Structure 1
C-alpha cells in the first residue's frame, strides 16, 4: 500500500503534500457542486455563471506574474499560507452572493488569489525540492492533487443528493475549511527565505522571448485539459454509441493512472535538454490518441468504449509526460533569482490556453468530427516536435546573456 500511495516519506515534501491534499479536497467539493450552488442554491442564470467564470478566469491571469515575483522576494511558504487564508475568505464570500454583480466581484477576487497562488506554489516547490528534486516534488503534488479532487468530488455527492440550501451551503463551508487547514499545514514547513535578493521588475520575465516561446508551446499541448474535462464527455454522449456512464469511466481511468504514475513518469527531466525530448514524446503521444477518439464515432457500445478507454490511456500518459517535462523546462530555463516570476509567466500562458480552449476545441472537434480530431493531432505532433529546437534556442540565448543567470 505504501508503494501505491502518492504521499512521500515524512519530511517537508510530505507536509507540503498534506497541505495540497487538504486544499484539493476543497477543490473537488467546489468543482462538483459550485455551479449547482450558484444556479440552484442562489438562483443565478446558468449563462451568467458561465460568462462570469470566464471573465474572472481571464482577469485572474494578471495576478500570476506579480505574485510569482513577490515569492522571489519573500518567504513563499508564508506568502502561500496567507493566500490560502485569503482564498478561504473569498470562498466564504459566496455565501453572501445574491446577484450577478456580487457573484462577479467574488469570482474575480477568488480567481486572482487562486492564479497567483499557483505561481507562489511553484516557487515553494522549487525551494522545498531543490534543483534536483523540484520536478519530483511537482509530480508528487500532481498525484496528490488528483487524489484530493477525487475525494472532494465524492464527498460533494452527498450534498448534491440532498439538493437543498443546507447541502449546497455545506459545500461552501467545507471548501473554506480545507483552505484554512491547508494554510495551517503550510506553516509547519520550515521558512524558505529567498536565495538571492533580486532587483528585477516583476514583468521582466515576460520580456524573455525565448522562455515565452517554450512556455507557449507547452501551453498549446496543455489543451488536453479541455479535451478531458469538456470535449471528450460531449463527444461520448453525442457522437458515439457508448452509454453515458463511460464518461465517468474515462475520468476515473485518467485519475487512477495519474495517482499511480505521475511520480514514476517524472524521472529524468530535471534539466532542459531531456525535458524537451520528453515533451516531444508527449506531443506525439497526445497526437496518437486523437485518431482513436475519431474512430469511436458512430460505433456501437463495445467497440466505442474500447477505443475511448485506449485513447484515454494514451492521452493520460502524454499528459503526465507533458506536465513533468513542462515543469523541468520552466524551472531550468528560468533565471535562478526569479524562479517565481518565470513560473508566473509559464502559469499565465497555460491558464490562457485553458481559458480559450473551450472556444477553440468545441467547434474544431465537435463541429469538425473525425477531420477535426486529426487536425488537433497534427497540432499536438507539430508542437511537440518543435520543443527541442525552441529549447536549444532558449538555452543559447541564456548562455549569451549571463545576466539572466546571475543572482
Structure 2
C-alpha cells in the first residue's frame, strides 16, 4: 500500500495494483486455515462476524475517501494512502497476538495438487464463481445503469451502497442461521439465486419508469439483492469449510478463490456486455444465469459430499 505513494504513471499504477491484489489473494488463502482452527465448529459464524466488521470498516474507508476527494489535494491523497498503509502495519501486530497453531500434517506429507484433482470440489468452485458475478453489480453495473438508462437521480447510488453496507453489517451473522452442514449450504445458494433474479429484474424494469418509480424499484432491488447476497455469502462460508479436509484448508481455499477471482476480473466485462449492452433483457439473462448455477449447486455439493476424503484426526483436532 505504501508503494502507491511512488506511483507517477499508469504502468507503475498497474504494477502496484497487481502487487496489492496478489497480496490480498494470498491473505485470503492464508486466513482461511486460521479461521477454521480458531473458530472450530463455529468457523462459519466467525467468518460472518468478520464480514460484518469488514463492511463497517469499508464504510469508514469510503467516508474518508469521499472527504479526500472533496478536498482534492495531493497532500490529502498522500495522507489517506499513508494512513491506510499504517493500518496494515498495525494489523501485523494484531496477527502476532494470535495463538501459534501447529500444522495438521507433517512437512513430508505431499498434498500439492490434491484440490485441483478433486473434480466435485472444482464443480462447486465453478458454480460459486458464477454466483460471485453478483459482486460487481452494485459497485460497477448499477451506477452506470442509473446514469445511462434510468431517470433516477445520480445521488441514489450512494444511498444504495449505504443500504447494502448497513444491511450486511447488521444481518450477516443472522444469515448463517439454519445452514447446518454443506447440504443446507447448497440449498441456501439455490434460494439466493432466485433472489438475485428478482433483484436484477427490478433493476431492469427501473429503466421504463419516471424518476420516482425508478428510484423506488432500485431501492427495493438493492434490498432484495442484499438479502440474496447475505444468503449466498453464508452458503459460501459453509462450503469453503465443510467440503474441505482440515489439513488441506489452505490448498483448497486457494483453489476455491480461483472462481471468485475469475468473477472479479471477468465480471465487469460480462456485466458491460449483458446489462449495459442488452438493457432490461440483459438483466433478465443475468438473473437466469444465476438461477441456472444455483440449481446446480445442491447436486454438485451432494457429489462433493459423497466423494470427499477427510482425515478424522485432523478434523477432530480442528474442532477441539
- TM bucket (normalised to shorter chain) is over 0.9
Correspondence list, 1:254-265, <5 A: 254-265=164-175
Correspondence list, 1:364-375, <5 A: 364-375=274-285
CA contact (8 A) 2:52 2:169 kept: yes
Any idea what SS the aligned residue of 1:195 has? coil
Partner Cα distance (1:231, 1:105) in 2: 26
CA contact (8 A) 1:279 1:322 kept: yes
For residues 106 and 384 of structure 1, do their structure 2 counterparts lie closer, same or farther at Cα, with a shift above 3 Å needed? Answer: same
The answer to whether 1:203 aligns with 2:113 is: yes
Q: Which residue is 1:142 aligned to? A: 51
Gaps of 5+ in 1: 1-90
Bigger relative CO (Cα 8 Å, ≥ 6 apart) = 2
Q: Which residue is 1:396 aligned to? A: 306
Partner Cα distance (1:92, 1:306) in 2: 42
Correspondence list, 1:8-407, <5 A: 91-130=1-40, 132-197=41-106, 199-398=109-308, 402=309
TM-score normalised according to structure 2 size: 0.93
Any idea what SS the aligned residue of 2:208 has? coil
Partner Cα distance (2:201, 2:219) in 1: 13
Instruction: Kindly report the root-mean-square deviation, in angstroms, between the aligned alpha carbons of the 2 structures.
Output: 1.6
Partner Cα distance (2:115, 2:197) in 1: 30
Any idea what SS the aligned residue of 1:133 has? helix
Partner Cα distance (2:245, 2:98) in 1: 25
Partner Cα distance (2:76, 2:266) in 1: 32
Deviations 1:47-79 (A, max 9, x none): xxxxxxxxxxxxxxxxxxxxxxxxxxxxxxxxx
Q: How many residues align?
A: 313
Any idea what SS the aligned residue of 2:207 has? coil
Partner Cα distance (1:378, 1:213) in 2: 19
